[in-house]
Amino acid sequence: MHLQPLYSATTYWILIAGIVGLLIAARLVAVSAKAKRWLLLTLRGGVLLGLCTLLLNPIARRETLLPPQPPMVALLVDCSQSMALGTGQSRLDQAKRTIDTVSRRVQSSQTLSLPLYRFGNHLAKVPNLTELRANEDASLLGEALERLPSRLAGEQPQAVVLFSDGAFPETDQWSEMADAYRKMEMPVYALLPQQQDMLGDIAIAELAIPSRVASGDQATVRAVIESRGFDGERVVVSIRPADRPNAAAVASLPITLHDGPTAFDLIVTADASMGELALEIPVLDGEAVGSNNRVPFRLTDRDRKLKVLYMEGTGGGNEYRWLSDALQEDSDIECVATIVNDQYASRPTLERVDDPYRGFPSTRSELFEYDVVICSDISQTAFTPEQIDWTVDLVGKRGGGFVMIGGHTSFGSGGWDRTEWEQLIPLDMTGRRDYLNQNFRVEVPPTSESHPIWKLLDDPQQNRAALDAMPQFLGTNLITRLKPAAILLGQTQTPLQQVGIMPVFACQTYGRGRTFAMATDTTADWGKYFESQWGVGDNRYFRKFWRNVIRWLAENSQASKRRLLVRCDQVIYSQNDPIEVVAEAFDQELKPTTDYRLTAQLRSKDITAGDSAASDVTSTLVDLQADPSLKRYAGKLTAALPALSDDLSSPMQTVNVVVTAWQGDEQIASDTIEIQLLHDSKEWLHPQLQPETLKRITAAYGGTLLSSDADLERLLRSYGAAPGEKLIHTKPLWDRSWVWMTLLGALAVEWTLRRRSVSA
């Protein structure tokens, strides 16, 4: 308890003297002897003195000691683009690994607060390491250090640890805050990436190809290489198929690098069968980044044929040829046949028949060249999760088709009920791992025989007879039921063991695409009669059936809708360069036309033609101008980096030029061409680590440059818990009820005694 007087001491002495005077005067003027008794005067005086005491403002004080505070060290991570440099592991990835490893070790034995901040153009607090990405085109340390104290919400850390390569702009005024940090006793330490220094960088800066090249023509590919730090080095630039990096080069040229641009030409014989090509430069030791050493491009126009990827697991001879030959009887269908090296291996390998070194498409864009994917009797272990996801996107987003055919390693027996492909398949295989070797025939319901897949002959009666003549099958995968949204195309004519009447053929729509399933096999052994004897002394109905399946499945496929051909004047553009776009449109009879309205825009790489993702569009729509005399359209876009790209840490970005044909408000067709945009950031010009810069910074801010993870761990362990904060609670005495009750009680007693004295 202590006093906090509201008035001066003189005031209180005057009050006391006044109270004493009042008591004396009261005794003198009392009319009875009992009223003059000292007991009554004492009670009255006690109440008055109590009130005077309250005017002295007595305060009750209580202290509470809080638990010890864990030490705080702020972590400040440089997220500029130079932190993305590095071979194997980038500088930023190394910093993230260090933070994760060291913080786990330290916090396993002591409590430590480590707030995480990133900086580049701006300072921002991040909740975890996954939010750190090297996508800033500047590294403004001075601004970050100036704003950091205000972001700490009044709490002051013991120190700040900076993770950076030291590549700060010369104008960065980081020194201005050094004195303030020293006064706050908040030193700044730094940890440099422990990585081999970079010598420089090599990049393909320009690439121009002829606007149109036919197969067999000699095409001149013109390119410019920008090199820094490798003056006098000899390299071989080459062109090879983009999806076969180990294939022989179709053209190559040795050149000597110089600091600056080096121009050269390569002569290539165009071949449509090679598909997409790539210009490549080998990545040299000490090179800052390798992603700008390779640029894909396409010389020839894409084929308008329906393209089918047919994967067959059943071995023995040339079983794949039955279906493959049936499809390629149609000049508008191209079938790429793929088989597995060992059907029953724990992880089968897919091999293309025409090129054993190639299997399932290695990239999403390569798979999107196909209209239909057929998987026949192959286990899910032959595919990666990414390949399975790409196929789902091909159907759902690109309008492609998918077929699953039965066999010992298909449907539930192949583990497909546990994958994303399960949603594509119109037959429900949930919980089934079994198949049945039993002869049966398929019955096509009358309600389904009008489906385009079953149109084998023009005459309805002859077509019905052909369907009834379908040979027997010798076995099937067992299916639980038909999915609710699926269309039943055929079922067993008689009940099967374990399941009874079971669906065998079914189809359904999925997203923009279509899918088809066949519970039995189309090849030996279950389907050996189906593939060879369904016809009139031949297998003509078998062949027509599969062509019908492919055409129905591919009806909405974007890959097959070649109603547009788009070309750009270059493959690589710098920021704000004009992109000259030329397009040709074709009507329903595939004749050139200028009757449509064509628009063009840039979209980020992951947005495919026809997808609606307005937030990812990086340019406004531009109308292409029609030229009826040349039967084509032309226009210009401005090269701009994707605003929401997932990977701004690369100096070269892949962006789609999307051209759409409209008839009124109806979209007729859309085509996409990939281009490369160079991000001319100063962060890439000087890739070397800057330890001397970090030494100057840390010395100015009262810290040091840490040399290893161990140094960082020792620093963090050196900070002990701070004493708990002392909380002081105060409460005035007049704010207590018992005080006022006592005073009122004394007044009541005094008043009662005085009244009794007067009445007596």
Q: Which residue has the higher pLDDT, 108 or 37?
A: 108
Distance of CA 218 to the CA centre of its chain: 41
* CB-based contact 620:635 (threshold 8 Å): no
Lowest mean pLDDT among 299-303, 495-499, 737-741: 299-303
| Whether residues 454 and 516 fall in one domain | yes
**And the tokens for 284?**
């040299």
Q: pLDDT at position 672, please?
A: 83
Amino acid at 175: S
Q: Please tell me whether residues 244 and 350 are part of one structural domain.
A: no
| Residue 670 within a domain | yes
Please check the confidence at residue 167 and state whether its pLDDT lies above 90: no
DSSP symbols for 371-422: SEEEEES--GGGS-HHHHHHHHHHHHTT--EEEEE-STTSGGGGTGGGSGGG
Distances (CA, A) of 689 to 145, 196, 430, 679, 694: 21, 9, 56, 21, 10
Confidence of residue 760 (pLDDT cuts 50, 70, 90): low
Nearest to 71 by CA among 36, 39, 114: 114
Q: Are strands 503-510 and 481-482 parallel, antiparallel or unpaired?
A: unpaired
Q: What is the pTM of this model?
A: 0.52
Q: Number of C-alpha atoms within 13 angstroms, CB side, residue 662?
A: 14
* Model confidence pLDDT, tens digit, residues 671-719: 888 888 876 666 665 677 889 999 999 999 999 999 999 999 999 999 8
Q: Is 352 exposed, middle or buried (0-12, 13-18, 19+ CB in 10 A)?
A: middle
Per-residue pLDDT, 758: 57
Question: Which pLDDT score is estimated for 405?
Answer: 97
Domain co-membership, 348 together with 419: yes
Q: What is the pLDDT of residue 685?
A: 58
The backbone torsions φ and ψ at residue 635, rounded to the nearest 5 degrees and listed phi first, read -175, 180
Residue 749 covered by a domain: yes
Task: List residues bridging with 578 in a β-sheet.
Answer: 638
| Nearest partner of 288 among 694, 690, 651, judged by Cα | 651
- Amino acid 617: pLDDT: 47
Dihedral sign (CA 533, 538, 542, 545): negative
More confident site: 376 or 558: 376
Q: Is it the case that residue 614 has pLDDT exceeding 60?
A: no
Query: At 613, is the pLDDT very low, low, confident or very high (cuts 50, 70, 90)?
Result: very low
Domain annotation covers residue 311: no
Q: Are residues 129 and 210 in the same domain?
A: no
Partners of 241 in the beta sheet? 277
> Domain of 224: which CATH number?
2.60.40.150
Final residue of a structural domain among 499, 527, 556 = 556
Classify residue 426: in a domain, yes or no.
yes
Largest CA distance in the chain: 147
pLDDT for position 607: 44
Average pLDDT (627-655) is 76
Query: What per-residue confidence (pLDDT) applies to 645?
Result: 47
- Sign, CA dihedral 358-362-366-368, equals positive
Q: Band of the pLDDT at 155, cuts 50, 70, 90?
A: confident
* Eight-state DSSP code of residue 629: T
pLDDT at 170: 64
Whether 724 maps to a domain, the answer reads: no
Q: Which tokens go with 389?
A: 């996801």
Q: Are residues 124 and 221 in the same domain?
A: no
What CATH number is associated with residue 331?
3.40.50.880
Coil vs helix vs strand at 271: coil
Q: Which residue has the higher pLDDT, 208 or 507?
A: 507
Check whether residue 493 and residue 354 sit in a common domain.
yes
pLDDT at residue number 752: 73
Asked if residue 258 has pLDDT above 80, the reply is: yes
Assess whether 654 and 702 both reside in one domain. no
CA atoms within 13 A on the CB side of 347: 2
DSSP string, 679-720: ---GGGT--S--HHHHHHHHHHTT--EE-SHHHHHHHHHTPP
The answer to whether 572 touches 205, Cβ cutoff 8 Å, is yes
DSSP track, 92-103: HHHHHHHHHHHH
Classify residue 377 as left (phi > 0), alpha (psi -120 to 50) or beta: left
Give the residue from 514, 540, 556 where a domain finishes. Answer: 556
Question: 150-164, 498-512, 722-736: which has the minimum mean pLDDT?
Answer: 722-736
Query: Is residue 309 a part of any domain in this protein?
Result: no
Q: What pLDDT is recorded for position 759?
A: 57
- For the segment 212-222, what is each residue's pLDDT rounded down to a tens digit? 777 778 889 99
Tell me: do 635 and 742 sit in the same domain. no
Res 646 pLDDT > 50: no
Range among 514-518, 667-671, 691-695 with highest mean pLDDT value: 514-518
Q: Which pLDDT score, from 0 to 100, does residue 305 have?
A: 78
pLDDT greater than 60 at residue 299: yes
pLDDT for res 340: 92
Does 574 score more than 70 pLDDT? Answer: yes
Mean pLDDT of 307-316: 89
Least confident stretch, 28-32, 232-236, 292-296, 688-692: 28-32
CA distance 214 to 274: 13
Q: Is residue 139 part of a domain?
A: yes
Looking at the 3D structure of the chain, how many domains does it have?
5
Q: In the numeric block, which tokens belong to residue 400?
A: 């492609």
How large is the average pLDDT for residues 283-296? 84
Per-residue pLDDT at 642:
55
Nearest to 42 by CA among 734, 744, 747: 747
Query: Per the omega criterion (within 30 degrees of 0), is the bond before 285 cis?
Result: no
Confidence band of 744 (pLDDT split at 50, 70, 90): confident
Report if residue 375 sits inside a domain: yes
Residue 606 has pLDDT above 60, yes or no: no
330 Cβ neighbours under 8 A, 6+ residues apart:
547
Rg of the chain's alpha carbons, rounded to an integer? 42
Terminal-to-terminal C-alpha distance of the chain: 44
Nearest to 642 by CA among 687, 673, 675: 675
Q: What pLDDT is recorded for position 32?
A: 67
Cα-to-chain-centroid distance, residue 722: 41
Are the CB atoms for 447 and 454 separated by under 8 Å? no
In this structure, the answer to whether residues 102 and 250 fall within a common structural domain is no
Could you tell me the pLDDT band of residue 644, with boundaries at 50, 70 and 90? very low
Of 519, 537, 556, which residue sits at a domain end?
556
Our CA angle for 575, 580, 585, nearest 5°, is 135
Phi, psi for 606 (deg, rounded to 5): -80, -5
Highest mean pLDDT among 65-79, 166-180, 354-368, 522-536: 522-536
Q: Are residues 271 and 257 in the same domain?
A: yes
Which class for 728: exposed (0-12), middle (13-18), buried (19 or more C-beta within 10 A)? exposed
Least confident piece of the model among 438-447, 556-565, 684-693: 556-565
Please give the pLDDT value at position 376: 96
Q: Are 378 and 458 found together in one domain?
A: yes
CATH of the domain at 707: 3.40.50.410
- What's the confidence (pLDDT) of residue 650? 63
- Over residues 23-80, the pLDDT tens digits come to 777 777 766 666 667 666 777 777 777 777 777 777 877 777 666 678 899 999 999 8
Domain that holds residue 181: 81-192+693-717
DSSP 538-577: S-HHHHHHHHHHHHHHGGG-TTT---EEEEES-SEEETT-
Identity of the highest mean pLDDT range in 79-93, 503-517, 597-611, 672-686: 503-517
Which CATH number belongs to the domain containing residue 625 in this structure? 2.60.40.1930
Higher pLDDT, residue 754 or 520? 520
For residues 359 and 349, is the Cβ–Cβ distance under 8 A? Answer: yes
SS (H, E, C) 309-345: EEEECCCCCCCHHHHHHHHHCCCCEEEEEEEECCCCC
pLDDT at residue 611 is higher than 60: no
Are 175 and 212 members of one domain? Answer: no
DSSP 78: E
Asked which of 97-106, 422-431, 672-681 is least confident by mean pLDDT, the reply is 672-681
pLDDT of res. 724: 61
